[in-house]
Amino acid sequence: MILTGNEDLRVIKTIEGIKGAFERLICNKDYEKITVKELCDLARINKKTFYHYYESLDDLLAEMQAELSASYLERIKDYSLPEDLDKVNREFFMYSAEQRLAYEKITCSNAYHSIRDKMVVEVTDAGWGKSKQYQKLSDFEKRLLLAFVNQSVLTAYRQWVEDGKQMPLEEVIDTTNRIVLGGVNGFFG
């Protein structure tokens, strides 16, 4: 349940408790190993309360994905692609670095590929969907371009996380942009 701010304080605390417990579980185990009972025990609620707000863990995960995507999309809404791809990539890394460990796990772990794929599709549609240059491409070219950009940026982020974030964030952004922009500019050039 996405909170609007008009809910009773008990509802707000319950939803925040559910989401907080879910994030803690995500940080400690793969999604398919998380159970509603375990979540309820950690959130200190009964299963009936959970099912009052969510039909399943999948719904809770989808809500988390929607909230994360919406926050990122708000940051990049005024950018045009491919012209501002460097800024979009910078925002991705800055946004990602500001998030909690659950976001990092969702972004890096193969256990969360379905939710990550939905996030990528939402971001891709919002960004590239309004690009005139992109719309002129064949379906094959669109898929190839998006696969290159998305996989390159996600791989760079995952590698940075896997390496313990040793490299300064600005250096990661600059290196990723050199690689990605070189390919995209060459493609459209």
Same domain, 157 and 180: yes
Q: What is the mean pLDDT of the chain?
A: 92
> Which of the two residues, 152 and 2, has the higher pLDDT score?
152
Helix (H) or strand (E) holding 141: helix 139-162
How many other C-beta atoms can be found within 10 angstroms of the C-beta atom of residue 50?
Answer: 22
- Is the N-terminal amide bond of 168 cis, ω within 30° of 0? no
Side-chain-side CA neighbours of residue 173 (13 Å): 16
Same domain, 137 and 163: yes
Same domain, 98 and 160: yes
pLDDT in tens, 64-117: 988 888 899 999 999 999 999 999 999 999 999 999 999 999 899 888 887 778
**pLDDT surpasses 90 at 46:** yes
Residue 6 is predicted with a pLDDT of: 66
**pLDDT surpasses 80 at 121:** yes
Tokens of 16: 């925040």
Q: Global pTM? A: 0.86
Alpha carbon distance 25, 103 (integer Å): 12
Same domain, 98 and 178: yes
Alpha carbon distance 110, 105 (integer Å): 9
**pLDDT surpasses 70 at 7:** no
Residue 111 is predicted with a pLDDT of: 82
Stretch among 4-13, 76-85, 106-115, 166-175 having the lowest mean pLDDT: 4-13
Same domain, 94 and 172: yes
**pLDDT surpasses 90 at 151:** yes
Q: How far apart are the first and last CA of the chain?
A: 46
Number of domains in the chain: 2
Q: In this structure, which amino acid lies at residue 127?
A: G
Q: Which 8-state DSSP code applies to residue 175?
A: H
User: 70 is in which domain, residue-wise?
Assistant: 65-188
Tokens of 66: 């929607």
Tell me which residue has tokens 């995952």.
Answer: 158
